[in-house]
């Protein structure tokens, strides 16, 4: 059983992180590593203005990518899990494409879709797509045959099985895949936002602060991106717990 990251544990971990950061800043004693007592006031001062705009832009991109990946990968994964003949056709292709680091496709996506928000969203969605697809496919394929047969004996067709059996059974798998992939999505977002854009935390950290040696503001941006990833993790984790609780009550 996995250990859940509770809010209290996250706060304790954050305090420990700030303490280690402060101690390291005392040891280094260079402008490249300002202490948190200098960064935090700048973070809260910039959050209602410039930093907040960049944070909103990044959050919108990653949320759009999550929505796109879930809406496309879930039905395809359920379909492959239900239809073994179809899965045998596409399994070799998925096995080859799945391990490829999708970030290397960024130039290709830029060429095909232009250097826009759409290309950045598509890149993140592509990474999440295969994570969700594989997990949902395997979950749907491993459902107990007795459960499927019992529902079919009541006259349920493929659509009813999809809605009342495969989809509810696969929802926890979708949320687990999302929770695991949040960190990767934020990392890819950071890379995608570093160039040829005007808003986003990646652009703010690299172009607006690092390249002009504004180290305190740079760490404020890094802190914002870290908190964005943490907020998404908690949101998915809370939704996963709620879905699991609902399914447990329904089964009971």
Q: How confident is the model at residue 153 (pLDDT cuts 50, 70, 90)?
A: low
| Predicted local confidence at residue 48, as pLDDT | 93
| pLDDT above 70 for 42 | yes
| pLDDT above 60 for 250 | no
Please give the residue that has the higher pLDDT: either 144 or 25: 25
Average pLDDT, the chain: 85
Max mean pLDDT range (41-50, 96-105, 140-149, 186-195): 41-50
Please state, in angstroms and rounded to a whole number, the distance separating the CA atoms of residues 212 and 73.
41
Query: Residue 179: which of 231, 245, 220 has the closest Cα?
Result: 231
Among 70-74, 152-156, 170-174, 202-206, the range scoring the smallest mean pLDDT is 152-156
Please state, in angstroms and rounded to a whole number, the distance separating the CA atoms of residues 123 and 5.
28
| Predicted local confidence at residue 24, as pLDDT | 95
Q: Between the CA atoms of 115, 196, 220 and 54, what dihedral angle is there, to the nearest 10 degrees?
A: -50
Find the mean pLDDT for residues 224-245: 87
| pLDDT above 60 for 45 | yes
| Predicted local confidence at residue 87, as pLDDT | 87
Check: CB of residue 194 under 8 Å from CB of residue 204.
no
Please state, in angstroms and rounded to a whole number, the distance separating the CA atoms of residues 102 and 109.
10
Residue tagged 């969203």 (tokens): 121
Q: Would you call 33 exposed, middle or buried from its count of C-beta atoms within 10 A (0-12, 13-18, 19+)?
A: middle
- Per cent of the chain over pLDDT 70 is 87
Find the mean pLDDT for residues 107-130: 89
Please state, in angstroms and rounded to a whole number, the distance separating the CA atoms of residues 114 and 120.
10
Please state, in angstroms and rounded to a whole number, the distance separating the CA atoms of residues 61 and 69.
12
Q: State the CB neighbour count (10 A cutoff) for residue 238.
A: 12
Q: Would you call 247 exposed, middle or buried from its count of C-beta atoms within 10 A (0-12, 13-18, 19+)?
A: middle
| pLDDT above 60 for 180 | yes
pLDDT one-digit tens code per residue, 27-41: 999 989 999 999 999
| pLDDT above 90 for 170 | no
Residues contacting residue 35 through CB under 8 Å, at least 6 positions apart: 21, 22, 25, 26
Check: CB of residue 63 under 8 Å from CB of residue 55.
no
| pLDDT above 70 for 235 | yes
| pLDDT above 70 for 146 | no
Find the mean pLDDT for residues 226-252: 78
| Predicted local confidence at residue 137, as pLDDT | 87
| Predicted local confidence at residue 125, as pLDDT | 93
Please state, in angstroms and rounded to a whole number, the distance separating the CA atoms of residues 26 and 19.
11
Find the mean pLDDT for residues 108-115: 86
Query: Residue 141: which of 98, 177, 170 has the closest Cα?
Result: 170
Find the mean pLDDT for residues 20-27: 94
Please give the residue that has the higher pLDDT: either 251 or 30: 30
| pLDDT above 50 for 1 | no
- CATH value of 47-251 in 3.40.50.10860, 1.10.3720.10, 3.30.565.10, 3.40.50.720: 1.10.3720.10
């Amino acid at each position: 059983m996995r250990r859940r990251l509770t809010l209290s544990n996250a706060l304790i971990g954050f305090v420990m992180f700030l303490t280690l950061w402060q101690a390291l800043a005392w040891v280094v004693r260079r402008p490249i590593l300002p202490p948190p007592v200098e960064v935090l006031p700048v973070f809260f001062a910039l959050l209602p203005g410039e930093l907040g705009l960049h944070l909103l832009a990044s959050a919108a991109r990653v949320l759009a990518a999550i929505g796109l990946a879930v809406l496309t990968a879930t039905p395809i994964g359920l379909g492959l899990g239900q239809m073994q003949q179809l899965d045998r056709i596409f399994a070799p292709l998925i096995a080859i494409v799945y391990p490829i680091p999708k970030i290397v496709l960024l130039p290709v996506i830029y060429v095909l879709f232009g250097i826009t928000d759409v290309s950045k969203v598509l890149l993140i969605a592509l990474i999440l797509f295969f994570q969700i697809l594989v997990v949902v496919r395997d979950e749907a394929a491993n459902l107990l045959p007795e459960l499927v047969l019992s529902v079919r004996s009541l006259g349920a067709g493929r659509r009813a099985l999809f809605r009342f059996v495969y989809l509810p059974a696969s929802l926890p798998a979708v949320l687990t895949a999302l929770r695991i992939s949040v960190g990767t999505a934020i990392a890819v977002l950071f890379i995608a936002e570093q160039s040829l854009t005007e808003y986003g935390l990646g652009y703010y950290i690299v172009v607006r602060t690092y390249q002009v040696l504004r180290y305190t503001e740079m760490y404020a941006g890094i802190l914002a991106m870290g908190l964005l990833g943490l907020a998404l993790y908690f949101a998915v984790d809370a939704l996963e717990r709620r879905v699991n609780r609902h399914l447990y009550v329904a089964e009971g």
